[in-house]
Chains A and B, each alone.
Chain A
Amino acid sequence: MKASALTVFLVMGISVLMVVLNLGTAASSPVHVSTFMVSLAGKYLSYAILALSVDLVWGFVGILTLGHAAFFALGGYAMGMYLMRQIGARGVYANPILPDFMVFLNYKELPWFWYGFNWFGFAMLMAVVVPAILAAVFGYLAFRSRVTGVYLSIITQALTYALLLAFFRNDMGFGGNNGLTDFKELLGFSLSAETTRCGLLVVTAIALSLLYLLARAVTRSRFGKVMIAVRDAESRTRFIGYRPEQYKLVVWVLSAVMAAIGGALYVPQVGIINPGEFAPANSIEAVIWVAVGGRGTLAGPILGAVLVNFGKTILTGALPEVWLFALGALFIVVTLFLPRGLLGLMPVREKGDPPLPADPPTPAESAAKEAVS
């Protein structure tokens, strides 16, 4: 079986299996999967989409983004706005138009940027268009002026930090500190129903599989070869006539849209979106999922996102003190000793897959080099 087919098979197979075990078995059965677990899996797969989008820019064009959670959160907010409008008069204040927090904050009418979000199609369009526009503007300016490396990383972090501060403000009209929550239903399906939860997991798995295949097609095309060339020898590509900024911009916007889709799928499964999702720490965590799974492989980020978040769920439940130690140690160990990630260790590669990033020297090698220099 080809590695790509295996990846899709695993993502779809495990999701469907969980759904079957949730709906098809009694709660007392030893093989029963709780609805909580189903939603947890859906959350992991949403994160996997975010990881995939991070890998596309970091693993294939060498942009270490520390701000991708911004696009994820923007997608999530668009979905959240739709879900808020669906609550209608069932809110605490029973206002048919205004969401509860607006009534609470003395809004007299719906802000203009909330118009249209009661239509699912429009909301989903905005979920990808707004992050795409933000990414396009930011990317156009950054790549055109050849901001690269850590400078770029730092301004991506500043971008999400600025959005974090902005969304914390009550008068932004997005619920301030508390964000958007108390959702009732999505397209008429109650969000508390088991079947809806199962449906969301399957939809997320399908979205992840499709985006994975899309990313695979892009990276294996001639465009993908240019991406690798830009990643490893950007200035050289200019001298044979390519414009790296165009390629970076296309990949950057594509990646932002993927992240936003992940965010939109994430929100109904966790039931809340608040400014905390913009925190720079979230973006950096997404980077470590990619690093753990294997940068520059497309299945790696999926594996990494699921594994790290599974570990996080277990650890924060059992030993909350230990989680940050473990996460911190993971960053250090992976960068020092496992630079290719888990999938980099196992050469599950197909013919025509784009080459991996060059192996960085191991600690022993760099120490030796340092001793010489």
Chain B
Amino acid sequence: MSSMSNGTLLYLDNVSVTFDGFRALNALSLVLTPGEMRAVIGPNGAGKTTMMDVITGKTRPNTGDVLFGGSTDLTRLDEPAIAGLGIGRKFQKPTVFEPHTVWDNLLLALAGDRGPRFTLFAKETAEERRKIESILETTRLTDQRNRRSGDLSHGQKQWLEIGMLLAQEPQLLLVDEPVAGMTDSETEQTAVLLREINKTRSVVVVEHDMGFVRALGVKVTVLHEGSVLSEGSIDHVSEDPRVVEVYLGR
């Protein structure tokens, strides 16, 4: 098993999750190499979000291995520990700390000590300010820095959440439907942003928008009923008759 997982960043093997008899994941296997960006598509109920839950420690699989960096068993860790390892997650519904300002959201997300003893006495450093400024720049939120994040537009919230991911400086980003509810131009910009991020980090993107997935131009995994239906380039999977049958439609 460890020999199989050597050289991989994320390694899921034979993972199954059952809720009350309903198989959300069924012997799912997926391998991600360092620096890779992967798009995951699939119809509703295919298990995309459950897969994210398993990787981030929210849901414990009934069976199967989930390894990070070749050797760390993620099934034994809880959410904060997994986040600490360098796995960041963006939710399907944008979840930012609504009462906080954009600036404070990013400040809380910045990589660093998360313990109460540290935060009780922490002062904002110049280094922290510089990092936040830079992320604000990247996510085009510089003008919104002092706004209450709950007041942002839907697209801005999505971007803030991506900004918070960046602030965590993770090795692996799990991005769930980043362009849902975005305008076309926002969608394009998001694709550019994700490709930019992918230069230094690995990314898993769950998305329905086929145009967006095509724009990313990466390897695609199609999930169906909790397991992998097809895997390959976007052209390869969109010609796979099984994928057409269950997902794309004839």
Contact = CB atoms under 8 A, between A and B. Distances in A.
Contacts of A246: 115-116
A240 interface: yes
B120 A221 contact: yes
B79 A225 contact: no
A236 B148 contact: no
Contacts of B116: 223, 226, 246-247, 250
Interface string B61-90: 000000000000000001110011000110
Interface string A233-274: 101111111110011001000000000000000000000000
A233 B97 contact: yes
A237 B115 CA distance: 12
B100 A229 contact: yes
A80 B141 CA distance: 58
A230 to B, nearest CB: 10
A16 interface: no
A240 B119 contact: no
B80 A243 contact: yes
Given A238-B78, A239-B83, A241-B84, A228 B122 contact: no
Contacts of B19: none
B99 interface: yes
Contact of B95 (A221, A228, A236, A250): A236
Interface in A346-368: 355-358
Contacts of B91: 236, 239
A238 B57 CA distance: 10
A246 B119 CA distance: 12
Nearest to B161: A236
Given A239-B79, A239-B89, A218 B120 contact: yes
A221 B121 contact: yes
A226 B120 CA distance: 10
B83 A356 contact: no
Nearest to A217: B120
A237 B96 CA distance: 10
B109 interface: yes
Contact of B80 (A238, A356, A358): A238
B98 A358 contact: yes
Nearest to B84: A241
A238 B97 contact: no
Contacts of A239: 56, 79, 83, 88-89, 91
A94 to B, nearest CB: 51
B197 interface: no
Contacts of A240: 83, 88, 108-109, 164, 168
B114 A243 contact: yes
A232 interface: yes
Contact of A223 (B79, B107, B119): B119
B122 A358 contact: no
Given A225-B108, A241-B84, A246-B115, A356 B79 contact: no
A236 B39 CA distance: 23
Interface string B164-198: 10001000000000000000000000000000000
Nearest to B124: A222
A233 to B, nearest CB: 6
A233 B96 CA distance: 8
Nearest to B90: A239
Contact of A225 (B84, B89, B104, B115): B104
A228 B99 contact: yes
A238 B122 contact: no
A233 B95 contact: yes
A238 B124 CA distance: 22
A229 B122 contact: no
A225 B95 CA distance: 16
Contacts of A247: 116
Contacts of A221: 119-122
Contacts of B109: 240
B120 A232 contact: no
Nearest to A247: B116
A233 B94 CA distance: 12
B203 to A, nearest CB: 16
A222 B107 CA distance: 9
Contacts of A238: 78-80, 83
Given A221-B122, A222-B119, A223-B119, A236 B97 contact: yes
Contact of A226 (B58, B98, B108): B108
10 contacts: A221-B120, A223-B116, A223-B119, A226-B119, A235-B58, A235-B79, A239-B79, A240-B88, A240-B168, A243-B114
Interface of A: 218, 221-223, 225-226, 228-229, 232-233, 235-243, 246-247, 250, 355-358
7 nearest CB pairs, A to B:
A355-B99, A241-B83, A238-B79, A223-B119, A223-B120, A222-B119, A222-B122
Given A236-B97, A239-B91, 10 more contacts: A225-B108, A228-B99, A232-B99, A233-B96, A235-B79, A238-B83, A239-B83, A239-B89, A243-B115, A355-B148
